[in-house]
Amino acid sequence: MTRITMTVDGAQVSDDVEPRMLLVQYLREKLGKTGTVIGCDTSNCGACTVHLDGRSVKSCNVLAVQADGAEVTTIEGLATDGQLHPVQEAFRECHGLQCGFCTPGMIMQSIDLLNENPHPTEEEIRLGLEGNLCRCTGYHNIVKAVQYAAREGASS
């Protein structure tokens, strides 16, 4: 067991974990942050995407011990005081989700994308989301949602 301490969605947390525990398992099993989900085992699907020290990562592809001392933001930490993050709002507005399983990762990656590039072209959006699989939407409305969020100034 290794002692780790980190900030998750603004709260300081600390636990003894096995070194083999993945960050996504730590979030789900130890912290009950089940908003972040696991969709594959090859790090292709991106459903588990969270922000680690401000940048998007696939939390299935990070050991919890590697995140020791880091700041983690999950889908559950986006809305503040009952106010949705503009990208969350955009996904709802544009029907950018159906079953919703890919959505936490898709939203987290979209936020990262807009942080890097506040006014992306459609092609830049599509390339920026290449690490996130969705089986329901055909991506059409996800792209629309990111465009909508960009217009609404989500990155500010």
- For residues 62 and 39, give the distance between their C-alpha atoms in angstroms, rounded to a whole number: 15
User: Based on CB atoms, which residue is closest to other proteins, 42 or 156?
Assistant: 42
Instruction: Mark 43-82 with x for binding to other proteins (rule: CB under 8 A) and - for no binding.
Output: xxxxx-x--x--xxxx-xxxx-xx-x-----xxx-xx---
User: Based on CB atoms, which residue is closest to other proteins, 127 or 153?
Assistant: 127
DSSP state of 28: I
- Which tokens go with 33? 């942050």
Pairing of strands 71-73, 11-17: unpaired
120 touches other proteins by CB under 8 A: no
Pick the binder of other proteins from 8, 31, 72, 137 (CB under 8 A): 137
121 touches other proteins by CB under 8 A: no
Pick the binder of other proteins from 14, 83, 127, 153 (CB under 8 A): 127
As measured in angstroms, the least distance from the Cβ of 128 to other proteins is: 6
Q: Which residues does residue 16 pair with via DSSP β-bridges, in sequence order?
A: 3
154 touches other proteins by CB under 8 A: no
Residue 126 burial by CB count (10 A; 0-12/13-18/19+): exposed, middle or buried?
A: middle
As measured in angstroms, the least distance from the Cβ of 12 to other proteins is: 20
Residue 46 dihedral angles phi and psi, to the nearest 5°: 75, 5
Pick the binder of other proteins from 6, 8, 37, 114 (CB under 8 A): 37
Pick the binder of other proteins from 8, 26, 73, 109 (CB under 8 A): 109
Listed in sequence order, the residues at least 6 apart from 29 whose beta carbon sits closer than 8 Å to its beta carbon are none
DSSP state of 99: S
